[in-house]
């Protein structure tokens, strides 16, 4: 029988090799068609008496499968959004059946009566790892390319194809819960230590080892289907269980503040599922999965952190008709912390880079940053000496702008001074080929004004990195008024080459991310001035879903930098552009108390020598009369911090600075961790309903001030019953073309 996505070849020993190799795709993914073919292959294996067992593997190099395809998830959410309105009961049944399709197919495989072995050659994620767990044997290639995980919790759902039931029946419950609630990846060695795989072998021996398991008499029965099966970690109602489960629930609350229904469902599925027979446990999991799929959090997270993120990374905003750039050389001007970081990520992508600074010593110091990062990676077992040597060989430190000759892209990362940037632009352009693109890494100066220094403003663009460059996954690509499509395409090609996510932002003061972050910090300043205890501010932020409190974030970016930005804003836009109370607070911190932030060990927090941990500056609460904590509406504090950011995101859309809601959402999460369970700034508004958000903002404005004023755009959307994803539909052009 012929299949589109699989080949089935049976050897002389009666072992079928099922190879998954989807045409026209770089990675295997689950689609409706793939599921139908797996179903048919199981039937074929069972029906053919000549087949003694089957090995399931991938034909893709270094990749087994990335899990579910975007279209499958979109279809499930279409059922929720469209069918539910027509026939709620029918829609619920469709959703329940869809949620269980993969789970019961894997159950069919493991109970078919013939042994199956999964031969994992590379990345094996989500449903693919759940398929492997349903196989009776699992052999893994001893390769860095192999990463196994059940990462569904990171996009708002959970392993709903038997993952919550098989993992805790193969390993102890504590490790099972940790793996699934964190979505962490496992190396082959770690997976074997946990009992999740049976063998780790050299890549060239993978298929032979899998076949040998079957030839050696692998039983076609899972441990949990055998009489007398005992859980490896002990029963739920046991001394071990009594120690684990109360602590697990407390840790979940501490880590998630119960903002993530998918994470909570993992604990419920494991706890309830281990008390009943396996088939009943799968039905429990299926019910929870169907329930979680209907939550606002799951819909928003899947859209932003799975669908939109993949679309942006594949070039959704890249201009059409422009040939992709293959980078032969990239120049970086300025070997300070940012420039050195840019040089590192460029070289890590295998691209030769010239690192320019005023002195050879400064340029060499910039290269040393890459040396340090690679040394740390080696110490953690994430890099080899050969990889370090190769990366460093790609970085050429220099003082001579002539070394930029032949570069496809030059990124300027010098001091935030217009004159210094002007000189760097002019010196670089004297040696660049006509097609080369020049980019500025500025975080404050408008790209349009910097482009006036260029002889080729069409090829001038902003590429705004975030610190530290090696860790932050977002890059803002800033369009000046005269920036051309070619420059945009090259910039996005570069961002993709260094494995980061780019969002396209039109030119404005602060661009997109910084405008939102400043609102977050400013609301915390207002709270301090009102007498809200500092610890309540930071805790409210974390419980609202932010990774870092606004006071801690100000310390990280530097309080004296906040002071400089405020003063420059006043010079540029006038006194009314900055709240005088905020200016007074920051001046007091910097000028009176010498508290500049983490960099000098003194900010809103104190930073004692390790191993002591940072703590809020005790004197902070003496700057303003303190309110009684019991009189403060803690839920309202959380709302204020999220709403002020979301309002700024709406203003950015209204002004046409960001034009695609996917970029606003993904950018807010990747850049500063805007409460991921909301799906991002605009999904936060859409999720509660625009009219409800407007009512909330109006209430906050009446109590706390003009920062909560609702922009005209939101008022119109509320009146028309619109959402950001309907008004600014990113798929409209595609749909029309189709």
Residues recognised as catalytic:
464
Longest dimension (CA), the chain: 86
Count CB neighbours of 133 within 10 A. 25
Strands 330-333 and 409-412 come out as parallel
Task: Supply angle C-alpha 152, 155, 159, rounded to 5.
Answer: 20
Token digits for 616? 């809020």
Answer yes or no: are the C-beta atoms of 414 and 443 closer than 8 Å.
no
Name beta bridge partners: 16: 10, 54
Full strand arrangement of the beta sheet holding 474-479: 395-398, 353-356, 330-333, 409-412, 437-440, 460-465, 474-479, 501-506
Q: Which helix (H) or strand (E) holds 217?
A: none
Nearest CA to 698 among 715, 681, 723?
715
DSSP line for 459-501: GEEEEEE-SSTTT--EEEEEEPTT--HHHHHHHHHHHHHTT-E
- Tokens 């109590």 belong to 703
Nearest CA to 313 among 468, 463, 495?
495
Q: Which residues of 323-354 are buried (b: 16+ CB within 10 A; e: fewer)?
A: eebebebbbbbbbeebbbbbbbbbbbbebbbb
Name beta bridge partners: 505: 478
Residue 420 to residue 412: CA distance in whole angstroms = 10
Helices marked H in 87-238 — which ranges?
88-110, 127-134, 163-170, 173-182, 188-193, 206-215
Token digits for 4? 């589109």
Cis omega before residue 611 (within 30°)? yes
Residue 55 to residue 9: CA distance in whole angstroms = 10
Which segments of 384-487 are extended strands (E)?
395-398, 409-412, 437-440, 460-465, 474-479
DSSP line for 37-81: HHHHHHHHHHH-TT--EEEEEESSTTEEE--B-HHHHHHHHHIII
Distant-in-sequence, close-in-space partners of 545: CB < 8 Å, separation ≥ 6 = 257, 259, 642, 674, 675, 676, 677, 678
Full strand arrangement of the beta sheet holding 116-120: 6-10, 15-20, 53-58, 116-120, 137-141, 199-201
Q: Which residues of 660-683 are buried (b: 16+ CB within 10 A; e: fewer)?
A: bbbbbbbbbbbbbebbbbbbbbbb
Distant-in-sequence, close-in-space partners of 478: CB < 8 Å, separation ≥ 6 = 447, 461, 462, 463, 464, 505, 506, 507, 511
Answer yes or no: are the C-beta atoms of 466 and 501 closer than 8 Å.
no
Answer yes or no: are the C-beta atoms of 528 and 534 closer than 8 Å.
yes
Residue 383 to residue 561: CA distance in whole angstroms = 35
CA Rg value for the chain = 28
Residue 182 to residue 681: CA distance in whole angstroms = 23
Nearest CA to 315 among 660, 604, 680?
660
Q: What are phi and psi of 581, to 5 degrees?
A: -65, -40
Q: Is 656 exposed, middle or buried (0-12, 13-18, 19+ CB in 10 A)?
A: exposed
Nearest CA to 554 among 513, 605, 503, 508?
605
């Amino acid at each position: 029988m012929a299949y589109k996505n699989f080949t089935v070849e049976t050897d002389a020993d009666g072992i079928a090799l099922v190879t998954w190799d989807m045409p026209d795709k770089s990675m295997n993914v689950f689609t409706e068609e793939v599921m139908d073919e797996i179903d048919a292959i199981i039937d074929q294996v069972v029906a053919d008496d000549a087949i003694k067992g089957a090995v399931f593997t991938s034909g893709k190099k270094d990749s087994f499968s990335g899990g579910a395809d975007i279209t499958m998830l979109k279809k499930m959410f279409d059922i929720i959004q469209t069918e539910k309105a027509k026939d709620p009961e029918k829609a619920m049944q469709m959703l329940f059946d869809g949620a269980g399709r993969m789970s019961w197919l894997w159950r069919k495989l493991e109970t078919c009566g013939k042994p199956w072995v999964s031969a994992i050659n590379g990345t094996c994620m989500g449903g693919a790892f759940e398929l492997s767990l349903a196989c009776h044997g699992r052999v893994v290639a001893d390769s860095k390319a192999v990463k196994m995980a059940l990462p569904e919790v990171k996009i708002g759902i959970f392993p709903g194809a038997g993952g919550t039931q098989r993992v805790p029946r193969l390993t102890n419950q504590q490790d099972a819960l940790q793996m699934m609630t964190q979505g962490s990846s496992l190396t082959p060695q770690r997976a074997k230590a946990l009992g999740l795989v049976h063998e780790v072998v050299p890549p060239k021996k993978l298929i032979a080892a899998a076949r040998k398991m079957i030839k050696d008499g692998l039983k076609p029965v899972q441990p949990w289907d055998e009489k007398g099966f005992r859980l490896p970690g002990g029963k739920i109602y046991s001394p071990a269980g009594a120690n684990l489960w109360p602590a697990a629930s407390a840790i979940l609350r501490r880590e998630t503040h119960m903002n993530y229904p998918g994470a909570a469902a993992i604990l419920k599925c494991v706890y309830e599922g281990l008390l009943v027979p396996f088939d009943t446990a799968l039905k429990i999991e299926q019910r929870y999965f169907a329930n979680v799929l209907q939550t606002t959090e799951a819909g928003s997270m899947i859209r932003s952190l799975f669908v939109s993120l993949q679309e942006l990374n594949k070039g959704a905003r890249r201009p059409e008709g422009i040939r992709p750039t293959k980078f032969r050389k990239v120049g970086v001007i300025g070997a300070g912390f940012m420039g050195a970081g840019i040089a590192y990520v460029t070289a890590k992508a295998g691209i030769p880079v010239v690192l320019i600074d005023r002195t050879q010593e400064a340029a060499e110091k910039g290269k040393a940053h890459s040396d340090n990062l690679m040394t740390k990676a080696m110490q953690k077992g994430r890099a080899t000496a050969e990889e370090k040597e190769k990366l460093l060989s790609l970085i050429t430190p220099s003082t001579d702008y002539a070394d930029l000759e032949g570069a496809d892209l030059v990124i300027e990362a010098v001091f935030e001074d217009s004159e210094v940037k002007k000189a760097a632009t002019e010196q670089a352009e004297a040696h660049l080929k006509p097609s080369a693109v020049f980019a500025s890494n500025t975080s404050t100066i408008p790209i349009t004004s910097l482009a006036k220094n260029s002889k080729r403003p069409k090829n001038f663009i902003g590429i705004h990195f975030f610190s530290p460059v090696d860790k932050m996954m977002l890059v803002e690509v800033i369009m000046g008024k005269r920036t051309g499509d070619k420059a945009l395409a090259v910039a996005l090609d570069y961002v993709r080459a260094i494995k980061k996510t780019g969002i396209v932002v039109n030119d404005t003061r602060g661009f997109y991310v910084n405008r939102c972050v400043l609102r977050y910090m400013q609301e915390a300043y207002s709270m301090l001035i009102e007498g809200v205890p500092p610890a309540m501010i930071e805790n409210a932020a974390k419980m609202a879903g932010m990774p870092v409190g606004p006071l801690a974030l100000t310390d990280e970016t530097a309080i004296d930098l906040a002071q400089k930005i405020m003063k420059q804003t006043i010079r540029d836009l006038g006194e009314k552009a900055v709240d005088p109370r905020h200016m007074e607070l920051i001046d007091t911190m910097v000028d009176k108390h010498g508290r500049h932030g983490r960099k000098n060990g003194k900010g809103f927090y104190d930073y004692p020598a390790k191993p002591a941990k940072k703590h809020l500056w005790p004197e902070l609460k003496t700057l303003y009369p303190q309110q009684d904590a019991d009189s403060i509406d803690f839920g309202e504090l959380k709302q204020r911090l999220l709403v002020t950011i979301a309002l700024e995101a709406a203003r950015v859309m209204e002004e046409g600075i960001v034009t695609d809601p996917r970029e606003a959402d993904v950018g807010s999460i990747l850049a500063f961790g805007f409460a991921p369970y909301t799906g991002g700034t605009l999904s936060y508004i859409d999720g509660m309903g625009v009219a409800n958000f407007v009512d909330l903002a109006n209430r906050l404005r009446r109590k706390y001030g003009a920062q909560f004023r609702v922009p005209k755009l939101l008022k119109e959307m509320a009146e028309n019953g619109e959402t950001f994803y309907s008004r600014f539909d990113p798929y409209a052009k595609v749909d029309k073309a189709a």
